[in-house]
Structure 1
Amino acid sequence: MATTAPPQPDRAPGGAPAEPPASAALHTGTSDIRTLLTRNLRQSGIYIAFVAIVVLFAVLTGGTSLSPGNLTNIVLQYSYILVLAIGMVIVIIAGHIDLSVGSVVALTSAVSAVLVIREGQPWWVGIIAALAVGIVVGAWHGFWVAYIGIPAFIVTLAGMLLFRGMTQEVLNNVSLSPFPSEYSKTASGFLNGLLGGNGYDAFTLLIGAFAVGGYAVSVYRTRVARVKYRQPVESMGLFVAKIVVVGAVVMAFAWQLAHARGLPIVLIILGVLVIAYGIITKRTVFGRQVYAIGGNLSAATLSGVKVKAVNFWIFVNMGLLSGVAGVIYSSRSNGAQPSAGNAFELDAIAAVFIGGAAVTGGVGTIVGAVVGGLLVAVMSNGMQLMNIDQSTQAMVKGLVLLLAVAFDVYNKRRAGASR
């Protein structure tokens, strides 16, 4: 869907923008809530579902799922899926798919392990090599998809087989471990005691406060921009309430982490990636072009978008993030295995669609994909705490994914019928 510039506000004498009428920008009471729920049902639905899942498993596990130790384990165990989801949502917004990311995670971690464990290279050489391999793999996929014109489904399916085989060759079908402690700290390390604290880590609470402040500034700027262009926004009371609720959730999460082992280093990596890619997708030309290609390829081409170049870099980026996920996964597992990364692509794709991305492209957000990944993580962790067998867990995940896609199809049909 090609992007269009927002309508310019009326001009007062002298060229200054005229103040929009309050009635055009603010809604109050019942109509305000109804507008929010109907206009942004896709975006708000995932947050409501996430809260419901968290509460459900907190009750079913007697509060164990929200204990400091378990919340820390969720961050450590599912961080690499969230990294993959960040890259996958960009691929899916553009109307593509990547089935190879699990194999690429295995290959990048294998290359890193061979260099660091077998060859005795410094730990940072392994990290750089893993990222470089991921970029090369992404360029390989991007070349075939963007410049040769083979559908991404076929290219990445071939890549899934190709890079799994390469992983087995690199490792000679044997596992390698352990990594040096410096490497392992990438995903298993913590920042604790930097600012002290009596029974808790004050630094973790400070980072949580900064996160809440950054969120408040971001949504306030978005609100000001919408008011400027006479777009509907929620009432000030509801706007403040939203910030308070989000802030309370974030600080409660930070409080639990502060009473466990402190701030996980991998959580900092995730935070940086979410902020960076949120800016890229929302505030850059490249991000707008990705949405344009996925929304309406013909219109994007006629608008001057260099479709081939954008598609190429989309897959290069996916390869880079697969390398990041490979480093995190191998650091977490403290080694590399030929079977590493099995079904990671399915978890990443599920996170993206559950997070609100459209199956036809053009719709999706970084935050939505991360929340979708967290929802899957909370479900998996909760079912593990309840000792539910793996087959039942797989069926539950499959049903949740099916319902998420069905919801997307239903929304599209309803929107088409209302035109």
Structure 2
Amino acid sequence: MDKAKLNEGMKKYTMVIALLFVAMFFTWQTGGKLLLPQNVSNLIAQNAYVFVLATGMLLCILTGGNIDLSVGSVVCFVGAVGAKLMESMGVNPVIAILIMLVIGTLIGAWQGFWIAFVRVPPFIVTLAGMLIFRGLSNVVLNGQTESITSGGFVKIFGGGANCYIPDIFGIEGFNLTSMLIGIITCVIYIAIQVAGRRNRIRKGYATDSLKSMIVKTIIICAVVLAFTYKISMYRGIPTALIWVVIVVLIYGYITSKTTTGRYFYAVGGNEKATKLSGINTDKVYFLAYCNMGLLAALAGMLTIARMTSAQPTYGQNYEMDAIGACFIGGASAYGGIGTVPGVIVGAVLMGVINLGMSIMGVDANYQRVVKGLVLLGAVIFDVLNKKSNK
């Protein structure tokens, strides 16, 4: 029994274990530079778009292994429109933000219509979108760079040196406010775990052992505290992280606690059975791609804020980073399996690999080779796991 539980636990936390070993390897190879406070902070700031896009991509993948190849181009197009609105046309940044979100959602709805109601394969629709919106990005920007001078926009979406939560205590060299936020986060998490366990026991639901819950809680809190301690030694919590946390919390709740979230898993598990049970599967597909467009717009804002400019080349290969993070994080290539926390682990793993190789000075071409091999390995693991279960 214990051996069976151990095997089950190993399968469940394979990517977490892999992330730990990869982080240890690059820490060793870089002489500890990977874990310098500035590099830990940069890991979040530079990969914020991956966390956001991968969360949206997960919903598409859940519906049956479908993907969205257009997200990188949509990121670029929405960012280009936003930059033009704010800089060339003098539109208020708040209005520009709303317009960008609406444009992203409309793009998602347009692609979702063909996929959900006309049943054009997602690969074809989003491939066309990739070409269309990359071309429109060049048209909007006239092939040139549009600089972002709106300090408020840049600060809110995490670009520049001052885009961190300020320390109200004013301690030099350590952001105590950020550290306290990490401690409060752990306290809230512990309270939620205890309350949730009591609620499940009261209702007669199956629960993990108390020992298992305590170990899991200790590990997660230790990671959170170690992370916040590191970034507090640099400048504190970057504002980009706030957007990532908001997206993760919202979509983590939707996918695990709501009926709508269960529909995505049901469609990916068996679409015909789901349709026969009375669920409108067309609407599920449509919602997945509408949502992807919305999150692509948010990723576009994070991108142009970090770069403080918009360029026709932004967003290239973003779709591959998002797809890779999903599959590495445990999403099934067949659909119906995957979680938001798993996707975040996958995104962090990709970020650690990118950052570690960059610090080591590995050629960019070899970095692509490694990322490709990691993605292939994750999918092969999923396929073999499916066969062994059968």
* 1:44 corresponds to: 13
Aligned-pair identity in percent equals 40
> Do structure 1's residue 404 and structure 2's residue 378 form an aligned pair?
yes
d(CA) in 2 for partners of 1:329, 1:370? 18
Match of 2:134 in 1: 164
Aligned partners of 2:281 and 2:59: how far apart in 1? 14
CA offsets, 1:229-258, max 9 Å, x none? 453623x23321221121111101101111
Change (3 A) 1:149 1:322: same
Counterpart in 1 of 2:282?
A: 308
Are 2:369 and 1:369 aligned? no
Shift of 1:198: 5.6
Pair 1:60 & 2:34 matched: no
Q: Which amino acid counterpart does residue 28 of structure 2 have in structure 1?
A: V
Q: Which one has the largest radius of gyration?
A: 1
Q: Which amino acid is 2:358 matched to?
A: Q
Query: What secondary structure sits across from 2:13 in the alignment?
Result: helix
CA distance in 2, matches of 1:355, 1:241: 22
Of 181, 184, 204, 1:207 maps to: 181
| Partners of 1:150 and 1:225 in 2: CA distance | 45
Query: What one-letter code is carried by the residue in structure 1 that aligns with 2:136?
Result: M
In the aligned structure 1, how far is the partner of 2:347 from the partner of 2:293?
19
> Which residue pairs with 1:276 in the alignment?
250
CA distance in 2, matches of 1:127, 1:70: 29
When residues 35 and 250 of structure 1 are mapped into structure 2, their CA distance, relative to the original with a 3 A threshold, is farther
Secondary structure, in 3 states, of the residue corresponding to 1:358? coil
Residue 158 of structure 2 corresponds to which residue in structure 1?
A: 187
Q: Does 1:350 align with 2:324?
A: yes
C-alpha distance in structure 2 between counterparts of 1:94 and 1:345, whole Å: 17
* Structure-2 residue corresponding to 1:78: 47
Q: CA deviation at 1:195?
A: 3.9
Alpha carbons 1:196, 1:203 under 8 Å: kept: no
> Which of 61, 73, 76 does residue 92 from structure 1 map onto?
61
Specify the code of the residue in structure 2 equivalent to 1:187.
G
Amino acid aligned to 2:276: L
Q: Distance in 1 between matches of 2:191 and 2:382?
A: 30
Distance 1:294 1:374 in 2: 25
Deviations 1:111-153 (A, max 9, x none): 0000011112222222222111100100001100111111111
Q: Corresponding residue for 1:233?
A: 208
Q: What are the residue-to-residue correspondences of 1:315-326 with 2, within 5 Å?
A: 315-326=289-300
Pairing 1:138–2:108 present: yes
Map Cα deviations across residues 153-199 of structure 1 (whole Å, 9 max, x no partner): 11101110111111111111111113311111121211121244463
**Distance in 2 between residues matched to 1:225 and 1:304, nearest whole Å:** 30
1:260 aligns with 2:247: no
Structure 1: distance between partners of 2:177 and 2:375: 37
Structure 2, unmatched stretches of 5+, are none
The residue type paired with residue 206 of structure 2 is Q
Deviation at 1:377, TM superposition (A): 0.3
Matched residues in 2 for 1:55 and 1:247: separation? 19
Given the superposition, is the C-alpha separation of residues 295 and 111 from structure 1 closer, same or farther in structure 2, using an over 3 Å criterion? Answer: same
State the Cα deviation string for residues 328-357 of structure 1 (Å, max 9, x = none): 000000010011100000000000000000
The structural deviation recorded for 1:225 is 5.7
Q: 2:387 aligned with 1:413, yes or no?
A: yes
CA contact (8 A) 1:184 1:331 kept: yes
Match of 1:110 in 2: 80
- My pick for the range that moved more, 209-218 or 168-177, is 209-218
Give 3-state SS (helix, strand or coil) of 1:148's partner: coil
Distance in 2, matches of 1:195 and 1:277, equals 33
Aligned length: 384
The structural deviation recorded for 1:226 is: 5.5
Report the alpha carbon displacement of residue 36 of structure 1 after superposing the two structures with TM. Answer: 4.2
- Offset of residue 212 of structure 1: 1.8
Q: Any conservation in 2 of the 1:103–1:342 contact (CA below 8 Å)? A: yes
Contact 2:148 2:304 in 1 (8 A): no
Q: Tell me which amino acid in the other structure corresponds to 1:53.
A: V
Gaps of at least 5 residues in structure 1 are: 1-30
CA-to-aligned-CA distance 1:258-317 (integer Å, 9 cap, x gap): 110111111111111111111101111110111100111011101111111111111111
Change (3 A) 1:174 1:45: same
Supply the AA of the counterpart residue of 1:245. I
Does the Cα contact within 8 Å between 2:146 and 2:311 map onto a contact in 1? yes
Letter in 2 for 1:143: F
Counterpart of 2:332, as a letter, is A
C-alpha distance in structure 1 between counterparts of 2:388 and 2:189, whole Å: 32
